[in-house]
Every structure is written in structure tokens, then in C-alpha cells.
């Protein structure tokens, strides 16, 4: 059996490589770092987390928690790495991003059936030597992007993605905030910076009038809703942030005994709690404006910024038009795609897509028909999104709205989601067993 070649050692590429290698398939994994870095990537390690260190909720009755449960059934390795690098984040799975990347890199480089080649791939000619999986992410550029566009005959769509700033822990004034998790979930894992009404209104006025950094081709930009810059979100109305990333619901300020008018949460970036990111504060403000406006947040008056927010271009395929049900190109079935370049959105969604692509490659190698994951599962629903053609195909992350409703209406939202999630897990287990795929219990 010849090797499967994978381009890109991000979350999707690493998940796919590890699953294939464990199944006995030799893999050659190509990674352009450190020879070449994208505008958003800075570290040499694999599975680098750029925008946030949160892998979102871990509860089964949440969309992201359900996705993780299904990924474990499909044989995820990156969730094991995430547990190794976990940092406290209430009900969410957040990681020390450097430790996470180091663990994934170790897992890949130490696998006897994975050969890593640190070189940039500029075209799709590797497909002449066997099956090829392209997992280069939403920042795919240069010759490879041109080769994909030429082969598919479709123009790549694009949007701009934003990341939140990070501040040092020692520069935060703890006397003006308090440690707590929303509704008391977790162990006071977030630092909270509470606004009173007057303070929030002053902050809001400064935010909506702050100067943004210049973007190239800005008139052609589509901003993905899930990564909406905070200053753009604020322009929708004075209360938009108070019902969004600054919602105070589920929090009581111990200094006043009351719920704040608005509240900014800070989440730890590492196990040592030496750095914190501003949750929900993706931004494209100029650096000086970030410091000026965000220093108006209670407790951040003298904050030291170790990373300013940034905005970068993301590209993705018009997957319903160009990809077959097994994630291979309709026009060249030896080439598969996985990760955010396909139009799934989010860290875990990208990794899940890599897992699914690897299973599809295994099916191809075994002469079996493609997997057709149940639509009741989150993975199945995400794959269906990539197949459902419409004129305005946009990236999609996991959400309960993708799943079919229960036969009978359940009014309690938490209970309804719990039942939907249990149905999904049962459907995934039943399907994988029927297909002869061992599901982790």
C-alpha cells in the first residue's frame, strides 16, 4: 500500500494523519512551517491555535460538547492532546495553546507510520502519486490556492476572521473585578470586569468611534458572524454587546451584591494563568486604539497587551459545487479536502472534518462505499451542510439548529438539547457498529 499524502499539519491534517496511521496506512505529511508562515501563524508546531484557546463547551447538551462526543467515537487523537493541555475554563474545554501544539506535534512526529516533510507545496501534482488530502486551512494562498481554483473551475469565496487580544495577568487590577464562572459552573475560572451603566456607556461611545485598521479589498469582505469584530457588533446598537459577549447574566458582583450592567470576561491562556484573553473581543481596531478603548474596561486600565487583536483573510471552497459526498473533488476523485477550507467553521469542526476525511479515505482504500453519517448526528449534519447547494454558501460551525427536531416537543431547552444529543450519540454508535467501525465507549 502506497502512502496517503496530506498537505497541512493543522487540526484537520493531524487528526487525519493519526487516524490513517493507526489503521496501518503510511502517511506523508507536508507542513510549510517554518519555511513559510501564513499571516496569522507564528509558531513552528502543529495544530497551532490562532484565534482563541477555547475549544468551546464540553457539556453533552451543547452543540460543541456533542461534537466532541461524536469525535471520540470516531477515534479523535486531538481531544486526548486537549485533555493533556487543559486549563480551567468553567464548562468549556480550553487549553494552553503552546502545550496543546507541542503534544500534537509529539504525537505526529513520533508515529512510526507518519513521515513529516517540512516543505511548502505549491500545486496538486502529489495526486499523481496516490491519494491526496488537502487540509491547508482557510489561509490557503499562493500557487496552491491558484491550482485549486484552476482545477475546480470555481472562484474561492472569502471572508475575514478576527482574533481577540491577550493581556498579562500581572497587569490586571484584581481589586476592580472578581473571579467567577457564569451560574457558578466550574471553579471561578474566569476573571470578570464589571461595568456600571455610566462606565459602559462611555466605553461603548469610545468603541464605536474608534479607528479600525485598513484592510485590503475591504469592499469585498464578508465577515463570518461567529467571528464578528466587537466594534462592528457594537454598531448594531448600544445593547447588542450587553446581550452578547458582555452579557452579565448568571454573574453577581460581590462588591455590590448585584448583577453588573455589563461584564467582560477574561479567560486564562495557559496553565500558569500568566496571560488572559478578552472573551468575545475579536477586533480589527488599530493597536493604539485597542489600548485606548480596552483600557476603559474596569481592571484593565494599565493592562499590558502581549497580543493585539488581528484580522486575516480566510478562503473556503464552494463545497456543495465541487466536493463529492466523501469529501473528494468531483472532478478529481484522488484529491480529498478537510478542515476549514471546506466550509466548516471552528477548531473542533475542522478536526472532526479531518477525522471524517480519513475514514472516507480508508473506505476508498478498502473498496467500500463512502460513509453516510446519520443526519441526527452533528458530524452528519455538518457534512450535509457541505453538500446542500445554495447561492450563498457560507462557513458553518456546530449548532443544534442543524439537527432534526425531536418527534415530540420538549419545552425545556436544556432537556430538549440533552435528548437531541443522546439521540445523536446513539445514532452514531449504531451506525459505526453496523459499518464495522469500532466506536470508543
396-409 pLDDT, tens digit each: 889 898 899 999 98
314 pLDDT band, cuts 50/70/90, is confident
| 340 in a structural domain | yes
Q: What's 57's domain CATH number?
A: 3.50.50.60
What b/e readout covers 254-267, taking b as 16+ CB neighbours within 10 angstroms? eeeeeebbbbbbbb
| 441 in a structural domain | no
Among 124, 126, 125, CA closest to 148 = 124
12 and 72 part of one domain: yes
Contact (CB, 8 A) for 98 and 43:
yes
Residues 248-303: tens digit of each pLDDT = 999 999 999 999 999 999 999 888 888 899 999 999 899 899 999 999 999 999 99
189 and 274 part of one domain: yes
| 439 in a structural domain | no
Cβ burial of 113 (10 Å; 0-12, 13-18, 19+) is: middle
The count of structural domains within the chain is 2
* Distance from the first to the final alpha carbon of the chain: 30
Choose one of 251, 286, 312: the last residue of a domain: 312
176 and 147 part of one domain: no
- How many Cβ atoms from other residues are within 10 Å of residue 136's Cβ? 29
| Domain, as residue range, for 124 | 4-156+317-434
The pLDDT of 330-346, averaged and rounded, is 95
According to the model, what pLDDT value does residue 224 have? Answer: 63
220 and 143 part of one domain: no
87 and 185 part of one domain: no
The pLDDT of 328-356, averaged and rounded, is 96
388 pLDDT band, cuts 50/70/90, is confident
According to the model, what pLDDT value does residue 325 have? Answer: 95
73 and 189 part of one domain: no
| 234 in a structural domain | yes
177 and 300 part of one domain: yes
| 118 in a structural domain | yes
DSSP one-letter code for 36: -
According to the model, what pLDDT value does residue 291 have? Answer: 94
45 and 9 part of one domain: yes
The pLDDT of 337-346, averaged and rounded, is 94
The pLDDT of 24-33, averaged and rounded, is 96
pTM: 0.81
Q: What's 191's domain CATH number?
A: 2.40.30.260
pLDDT surpasses 70 at 154 = no
pLDDT surpasses 60 at 441 = no
373 and 413 part of one domain: yes
| 440 in a structural domain | no
142 and 210 part of one domain: no
Average pLDDT over the chain reads: 90
| 83 in a structural domain | yes
Which of 51-60, 231-240, 322-331 is predicted with the least confidence, judged by mean pLDDT?
51-60
200 and 131 part of one domain: no
According to the model, what pLDDT value does residue 389 have? Answer: 62
134 and 217 part of one domain: no
Choose one of 273, 295, 312: the last residue of a domain: 312
| 3-class DSSP string for 421-432 | HHHHHHHHHHHH
According to the model, what pLDDT value does residue 86 have? Answer: 95
Contact (CB, 8 A) for 431 and 374:
yes
According to the model, what pLDDT value does residue 133 have? Answer: 98
According to the model, what pLDDT value does residue 216 have? Answer: 52
Choose one of 283, 312, 341: the last residue of a domain: 312
According to the model, what pLDDT value does residue 183 have? Answer: 79
According to the model, what pLDDT value does residue 416 have? Answer: 92
Residues 95-130: tens digit of each pLDDT = 999 999 999 999 999 999 999 999 999 999 999 999
| 424 in a structural domain | yes
Residues 196-251: tens digit of each pLDDT = 999 999 999 999 999 998 765 433 455 666 678 999 999 999 999 999 999 999 99
435 contacts: CB under 8 Å, gap ≥ 6: 371
Amino acid at each position: 500500500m502506497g502512502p496517503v499524502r496530506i498537505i497541512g499539519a493543522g487540526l484537520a491534517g493531524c487528526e487525519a494523519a493519526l487516524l490513517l496511521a493507526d489503521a496501518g496506512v503510511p502517511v506523508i505529511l507536508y507542513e510549510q512551517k517554518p519555511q513559510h508562515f501564513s499571516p496569522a501563524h507564528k509558531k513552528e508546531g502543529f495544530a497551532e491555535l490562532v484565534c482563541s484557546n477555547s475549544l468551546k463547551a464540553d457539556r453533552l447538551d451543547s452543540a460543541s460538547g456533542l461534537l466532541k462526543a461524536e469525535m471520540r467515537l470516531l477515534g479523535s487523537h486531538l481531544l486526548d492532546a486537549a485533555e493533556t493541555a487543559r486549563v480551567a475554563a468553567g464548562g468549556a474545554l480550553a487549553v494552553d495553546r503552546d502545550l496543546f501544539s507541542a503534544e500534537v506535534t509529539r504525537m505526529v512526529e513520533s508515529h512510526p507510520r507518519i513521515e513529516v516533510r517540512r516543505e511548502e507545496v505549491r500545486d496538486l501534482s502529489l495526486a499523481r502519486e496516490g491519494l491526496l488530502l488537502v487540509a491547508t486551512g482557510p489561509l490557503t494562498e499562493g500557487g496552491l490556492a491558484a491550482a485549486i481554483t484552476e482545477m475546480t473551475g470555481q472562484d474561492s469565496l472569502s471572508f475575514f476572521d478576527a482574533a481577540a487580544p491577550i493581556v498579562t495577568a500581572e497587569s490586571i487590577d484584581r481589586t476592580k473585578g472578581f473571579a467567577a464562572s457564569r451560574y457558578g459552573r466550574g471553579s471561578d475560572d474566569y476573571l470578570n470586569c464589571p461595568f456600571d451603566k455610566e462606565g459602559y456607556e462611555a466605553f461603548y461611545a469610545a468603541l464605536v468611534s474608534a479607528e479600525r485598521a485598513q484592510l485590503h479589498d475591504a469592499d469585498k469582505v464578508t465577515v463570518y458572524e461567529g467571528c464578528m469584530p466587537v466594534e462592528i457588533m457594537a454598531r448594531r446598537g448600544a445593547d447588542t454587546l450587553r446581550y452578547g459577549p458582555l452579557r452579565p447574566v448568571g454573574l453577581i458582583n460581590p462588591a455590590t451584591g448585584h448583577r453588573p450592567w455589563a461584564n467582560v470576561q477574561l479567560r486564562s491562556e495557559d496553565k500558569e494563568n500568566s496571560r488572559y484573553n478578552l472573551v468575545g473581543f475579536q477586533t480589527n481596531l488599530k493597536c493604539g486604539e485597542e489600548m485606548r478603548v480596552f483600557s476603559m474596561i474596569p481592571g484593565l486600565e494599565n493592562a499590558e497587551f502581549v497580543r493585539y487583536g488581528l484580522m486575516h483573510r480566510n478562503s473556503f471552497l464552494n463545497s456543495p459545487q465541487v466536493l463529492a459526498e466523501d469529501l473528494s473533488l468531483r472532478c478529481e476523485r484522488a484529491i480529498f479536502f478537510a478542515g476549514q477550507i471546506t466550509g466548516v467553521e471552528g477548531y473542533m469542526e475542522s478536526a472532526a472534518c479531518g477525522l471524517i476525511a480519513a475514514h472516507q479515505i480508508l473506505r476508498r482504500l478498502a473498496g467500500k462505499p463512502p460513509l453516510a453519517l446519520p443526519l441526527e448526528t452533528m458530524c452528519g449534519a455538518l457534512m450535509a451542510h457541505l453538500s446542500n447547494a445554495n447561492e450563498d454558501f457560507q462557513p458553518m460551525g456546530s449548532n443544534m439548529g442543524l439537527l432534526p427536531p425531536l418527534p415530540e416537543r420538549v419545552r425545556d431547552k436544556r432537556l430538549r438539547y440533552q435528548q437531541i444529543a443522546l439521540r445523536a450519540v446513539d445514532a452514531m454508535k449504531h451506525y459505526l457498529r453496523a459499518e464495522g467501525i469500532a466506536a470508543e465507549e
